[in-house]
């Protein structure tokens, strides 16, 4: 496995661990049509503005 891929996987694992802690602490956002629409709108706007895409979501 390439060094960059290992680095990417390590970062994803750290983010998952952080998410698990948030879940245990009740820091969550329920999925809903409204939430998904907001995420979609933000993603489209970010694309139009040329903002970088985080490597974790590529």
Confidence of residue 57 (pLDDT cuts 50, 70, 90): confident
Dist. CA 54–CA 43, nearest whole Å: 11
Among 2-6, 7-11, 52-56, whose mean pLDDT is lowest?
Answer: 52-56
Residue at 56 is within a domain = no
Residue at 54 is within a domain = no
Residue at 55 is within a domain = no
User: Which residue range forms the structural domain that includes residue 16?
Assistant: 3-49
Dist. CA 40–CA 48, nearest whole Å: 12
Question: What average pLDDT does range 5-12 have in this prediction?
Answer: 90
Domain count, the chain: 1
Question: What average pLDDT does range 5-18 have in this prediction?
Answer: 92
pLDDT value of residue 54: 80
Question: What average pLDDT does range 6-18 have in this prediction?
Answer: 93
Q: How far is CA 22 from CA 2, 16, 26, 42, in A?
A: 30, 10, 6, 22
Q: Which residues contact 28 (CB under 8 A, 6 or more apart)?
A: 22
Dist. CA 26–CA 11, nearest whole Å: 23
Residue at 10 is within a domain = yes
Question: What average pLDDT does range 32-37 have in this prediction?
Answer: 95
């Amino acid at each position: 496995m390439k060094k960059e891929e290992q680095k990417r996987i390590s970062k994803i694992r750290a983010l998952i661990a952080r998410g698990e802690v948030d879940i245990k602490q009740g820091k969550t956002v329920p999925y809903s049509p409204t939430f998904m629409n907001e995420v979609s709108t933000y993603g489209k706007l970010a694309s139009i503005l040329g903002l970088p895409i985080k490597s974790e979501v590529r």
